[in-house]
Amino acid sequence: MENNINNKLNSNTENTTVVLNQRNISYGIASGLDLTRPYLYNPDLAYDLAFRMRFFIGEMFGLLFVLFSTFYIFAVPEVLTRPERIKALFNGLLKRTIDIVGAVAGLLLASPFMLLLPILIKLDSPGPVFYTQLRVGVNRRKEGRRYHQKVGIRSEQRTRDRRRENYHGKPFRVIKFRTMVQDAEKKSGPVWAAKNDPRITRMGAFMRKTRLDEIPQFINILKGDMALVGPRPERPSFVQDLSTKVDDYIERLEVKPGLTGLAQVENGYDSSLASVTRKVKYDLQYIKNWTLFYDIKIILKTFVVVFTGKGAC
């Protein structure tokens, strides 16, 4: 009985035997890449090199990520992490770039007038060719106060650091061609120019009508005191007075004053409190709706004013 069972098992084993081709197979063995030996093209070697390259690139990107993350956390100010602040900085940089390019182009195009007008001014009336006057520029003090509050500086220390006289903005000297007789306000003091103002010279009337007297203000733009487009820069005495009489007057100082602006092309020169009130509305409208194309539109309107004399007094 046993012999019969063993015979059957042996018979089944012989029938299911599979003969494999003889070759060496090893498992669980890793070998390093010997770069000192010359290799012919080998798919396994190419895969190994590609893997090492990917690993190296991944490590480098990881290191750069750690470095930039560390810089962002410890070196970048908090305000620059806010999207609206980044947008404001970008717009400011864009506007400043356009101001510089426009001022340089304006000086080059106006160079014939820069040579001719001084001669005509001197022949028309005695006095200097250029006229400088203190004006009020952009107000940056709000940002300064927020900074002082943030770092914990006491209010009495801030009071000592503030300007002795509050102009509501940064004072600067605007440069213009002289359009009035010399010492025009010596007796009257600061007053608005009016239509048919006897203080305005014949040459001055022509320059004010065509806005040629404002050509030297391109220098103020290059210095950073003004922009190509913005609210008209006003005198400190007028700012002090009008800020108490016209609603939201100080809000127009949130941006740099401009060589031209929406209020200038739509309203002309200031001549009364009513005209100032209208001008403030135009200024606030410009500040609220500023875009690059808005500036271009205003500049194009300025050319119309220059050639037609619209809005000049």
Could you read off the pLDDT tens digit of each residue along the chain, which spans 313 residues?
555 555 555 555 455 555 555 555 555 555 555 555 544 455 666 667 777 888 888 888 888 888 888 887 777 776 666 777 778 888 889 999 999 999 999 999 999 999 999 999 999 989 899 989 999 999 876 544 443 344 443 444 444 444 456 778 899 999 999 998 887 776 666 666 666 678 889 999 899 888 899 999 999 999 999 999 999 999 998 888 888 888 889 999 999 999 999 998 887 766 678 888 889 999 999 999 999 899 999 999 988 888 876 655 4
- Do you know the residue count of the chain? 313
Asked if residue 231 lies in contact with residue 282, where contact means CB atoms within 8 angstroms, the answer is no
Give the SS3 label for residue 136.
Answer: strand
Q: At what angle do helices 202-210 and 111-124 cross, to 10 degrees?
A: 150
Give the Cα-Cα-Cα angle 136, 140, 144 (nearest 5 degrees).
Answer: 140
- Tell me what pLDDT residue 89 has: 83
pLDDT at site 81: 67
Tell me the C-alpha distance between 244 and 248, whole Å. Answer: 9
CA distance 61 to 59: 6
SS3 content of the chain, % helix, strand, coil (to 5): 55, 5, 35
Q: Which of 289, 284, 250, 251 is nearest to 267 (CA)?
A: 284
Q: Report, in angstroms and rounded to the nearest whole number, the Rg of the chain calculated over CA atoms.
A: 39
Within 10 angstroms of residue 64's Cβ, the number of other Cβ atoms is: 10
What type of residue is 213? D
Counting Cβ atoms within 10 Å, is residue 53 exposed (0-12), middle (13-18) or buried (19+)?
exposed
